[in-house]
């Protein structure tokens, strides 16, 4: 008996060890289609560690990004704000240096970066060569240093503490060509006042978490705020080129903001009609058009255009899910076979201020006599 119970203990221990190794982190694939010949990369270019006012070690940011399906991140600790300096040396090259080996091993692209600020006006500079060169500079000089280091520069959280506006200090920096993009989304805040600037001022859309605490558990399920980058090549140079070329979109809480052609590319790559032909009969006037969404994106559809003899219901295509759209014919429906297109508004895909993406589903309607 004794031996048996020892064996049982042994077995239990082994199972525990297996469970622990089996609980090693898993990656959420977070599928988003490639578009127009570009690779779609899921990125977060704004986050903090203990090297400024964050609560985690740099490698934690890499592990979180890998688990949550990201392809690229930037650690953007504040130059000149290090409340942890009694415990952590104020050397801003260290977060990137400490994270880079793990990032390389996991295949996470890591852009060297820094956050610079004056009061509540904050900017990030990506692709810098020396973060410590930004220490002690006032904001305009810091952004000039960013240009000198060939960095990509964007304005962070333009609507933090007050509604976003084209503030005079920011306008001066923009006029000096010290701004390439703006955060349309920071965390779970979307700044509607900033959306018109994207076209008016030729800015790149950014959408980042600005996470300071450990990433919340809900982000494991695809709810993390992301910048989608449409890159020629899935590497840092590809991201850099795409950012300067303004090929990005914001993705937060199921909503997407971006260029019309690019958002249409996401729709085309994500959605497939599973029942391209519906056969109606004299007593069969209502059928279900089945549609599949192969991406982690969400599409909220509302019919905007169809033949006068047909109506279709509104539907939400959930991430990696299918949905049925109820299609109903009225008595004027012509007999025989008709190829029609149903036009929907994708109410959560925003291509311009007050304008959402319009999408089409092709359908063959057969009406038997």
Binding mask 149-188 for Zn ion (x = CB under 5 A): -------x--------------------------------
Nearer residue to Zn ion within complex by CB, 156 or 262: 156
Least Å distance, CB 52 to Zn ion, is 8
Tokens describing residue 316: 């939400």
Least Å distance, CB 122 to Zn ion, is 3
According to the binding rule CB under 5 A, does residue 122 interact with Zn ion? Answer: yes
Phi-psi region of 187 (alpha: psi -120 to 50; beta: other; left: phi over 0): left
Whole-angstrom Cα distance, residue 115 to residue 80? 9
Taking the alpha carbons of 165, 166, 172, 175 in that order, is the dihedral positive or negative? positive
Least Å distance, CB 74 to Zn ion, is 11
**Other residues' Cβ atoms within 10 Å of the Cβ of residue 297:** 29
Give me the helices (H) in 149-259, please.
168-175, 195-200, 236-244
Per CB under 5 A, the segment of 184-192, 202-210, 310-318, 326-334 that binds Zn ion is 202-210
Q: Among residues 155, 149, 213, 158, which one has the least CA distance to residue 189?
A: 158
Least Å distance, CB 121 to Zn ion, is 9
According to the binding rule CB under 5 A, does residue 61 interact with Zn ion? Answer: no
**Other residues' Cβ atoms within 10 Å of the Cβ of residue 261:** 10
According to the binding rule CB under 5 A, does residue 131 interact with Zn ion? Answer: no
According to the binding rule CB under 5 A, does residue 210 interact with Zn ion? Answer: yes
Per CB under 5 A, the segment of 30-38, 121-129, 136-144, 338-346 that binds Zn ion is 121-129
Nearer residue to Zn ion within complex by CB, 117 or 272: 117
Q: Among residues 48, 109, 58, 45, which one has the least CA distance to residue 79?
A: 48
Least Å distance, CB 198 to Zn ion, is 20
Tokens describing residue 283: 């007593």
Interaction site with Zn ion (CB under 5 A): 115, 122, 156, 210
């Amino acid at each position: 008996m004794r031996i048996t119970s020892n064996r049982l203990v042994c077995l239990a221990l082994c199972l525990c060890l297996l469970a622990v190794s089996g609980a090693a982190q898993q990656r959420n694939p977070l599928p988003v289609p490639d578009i127009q010949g570009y690779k779609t990369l899921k990125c977060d270019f704004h986050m903090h560690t203990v090297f400024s006012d964050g609560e985690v070690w740099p490698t934690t940011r890499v592990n979180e990004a890998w688990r949550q399906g990201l392809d690229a991140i930037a650690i953007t600790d504040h130059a000149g704000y290090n409340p942890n300096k009694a415990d952590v040396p104020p050397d801003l090259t260290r977060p990137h240096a400490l994270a880079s080996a793990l990032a390389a091993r996991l295949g996470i692209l890591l852009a060297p970066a820094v956050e610079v600020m004056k009061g509540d006006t904050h900017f990030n500079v990506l692709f810098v060569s020396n973060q410590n060169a930004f220490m002690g500079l006032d904001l305009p000089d810091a952004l000039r240093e960013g240009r000198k280091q060939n960095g990509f520069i964007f304005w962070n959280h333009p609507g933090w503490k007050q509604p976003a506006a084209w503030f005079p200090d920011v306008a001066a920096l923009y006029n000096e060509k010290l701004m390439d993009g703006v955060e349309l989304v920071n965390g779970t805040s979307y700044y509607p006042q900033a959306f018109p600037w994207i076209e008016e001022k030729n800015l790149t859309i950014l959408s980042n978490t600005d996470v300071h605490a450990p990433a919340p558990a809900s982000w494991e399920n695809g709810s993390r705020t992301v910048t989608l980058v449409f890159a020629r090549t899935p590497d840092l140079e590809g991201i850099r080129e795409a950012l300067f070329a303004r090929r990005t979109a914001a993705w937060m809480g199921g909503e997407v903001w971006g260029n019309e052609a690019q958002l249409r590319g996401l729709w085309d790559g994500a959605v497939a009609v599973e029942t391209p032909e519906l056969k109606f009969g004299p007593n069969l006037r209502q059928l279900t058009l089945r549609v599949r969404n192969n991406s982690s994106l969400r599409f909220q559809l509302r019919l905007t255009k169809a033949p006068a003899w047909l109506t279709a219901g509104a539907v939400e295509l959930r991430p990696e899910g299918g949905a049925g759209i109820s299609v109903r014919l009225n008595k004027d429906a012509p007999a025989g076979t008709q190829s029609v297109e149903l036009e929907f508004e994708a109410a959560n895909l925003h291509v311009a201020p007050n304008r959402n993406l319009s999408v089409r589903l092709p359908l063959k309607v057969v009406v038997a006599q």
